[in-house]
Amino acid sequence: MTNGANDVLDVTIDGTVARLTITRPDKRNAVSDTLMDALGAFFANPPKDVRIVILSGEGDHFSAGLDLSEHVARDAAETMRHSRNWHRIMDLIQFGGLPVISVLRGAVIGGGLELAAATHIRIADPSTFYQLPEGRRGIFVGGGASVRIGKILGADRMIEMMLTGRKYTAEDGLRLGLSHYVCDSATEAEAKANELAAKVADNAQLSNYIMIQALARIEDMAKADGLFTESLCAALTQTSDDAREGLNAFLEKRAPNFK
């Protein structure tokens, strides 16, 4: 089933998998407010049967970042509200409860890298490159990079990346954690996304939900608080019907059938 959300984001539902494709190839899939609103609308109310999302960009690039051609002059208060709205939408992607796989190629720059960093599994092809050029444009990140990308790279490396506008290659990104996989071609990257989507969608939904909700937050907690939260998550998952099915499947040497 296909549901074109609008002219910037194509939404196709294939069983339990939602395929979201940014459809602005003439703009290198630059991030606009219209695109962010479309992403926010989907993740705020995804179709009931969807268990996983694959996010990609049409053409040769995932996303070249903020669409500067649509830049609107704002005062400080308006700029802060605009940034906070992007934070809200990125949080919907990261914490909405659905695992999200991003398929990266070509430019993954600025806001495009912020968008990728909000996804849970990132797969790159050899053409992928990463950049945070805000320092060269007299601005600062506003879509969550200082937190999400800062956690991946560490503040020291992110400062250097922003000050210099340095580009990282696909292999650099794998080494640094900007992606989890690098495949030999775009076709193989898409195949890997499909393979992992099928595997993750077969997990118990409660376990997937708890992993998405808890782990990034536990990282921000003090040790004692994190361990207490871990115990709560274990109690929720290990007393569920899915946990009983998983144990029985293991003992009976068969694949589990999670509801």
Identify the segments of the chain with pLDDT beneath 50.
1, 4
pLDDT of residue 254: 84
Residues linked to residue 56 through DSSP beta bridges, in sequence order: 21
pLDDT at 3: 52
| Rounded-to-integer distance, Cα 236 and Cα 244, Å | 12
CB within 8 Å of 245: residues ≥ 6 apart: 204, 256, 257, 258, 259
What are the C-alpha distances in Å from 7 to residues 1, 113, 214? Answer: 17, 22, 34
What contacts 220, CB < 8 A, 6 or more positions away?
A: none
- Which residue is catalytic, options 70, 78, 134, 230? 134
Q: Which of 58, 70, 114, 188 is catalytic?
A: 114
The whole-number pLDDT of residue 1 equals 47
Q: Is 160 a catalytic residue?
A: no
Give CA separation, 3 vs 6, 22, 59, 69, 114, in Å. 9, 13, 20, 27, 25
- What residues does 131 pair with on adjacent strands? 109, 167
Predicted local confidence at residue 5, as pLDDT: 53
* Interval 126-164: pLDDT, tens: 999 999 998 888 889 999 999 999 999 999 999 999 999
134 is known as an active-site residue: yes
Pairing outcome for strands 9-14 and 2-6? antiparallel
- What DSSP string describes 15-40? TTEEEEEE--GGGTT-B-HHHHHHHH
* Tokens standing for residue 41: 């609308």
Using CA atoms, how far residue 130 sits from 20, 97, 138, 188, 213, in Å, is 21, 26, 19, 20, 27
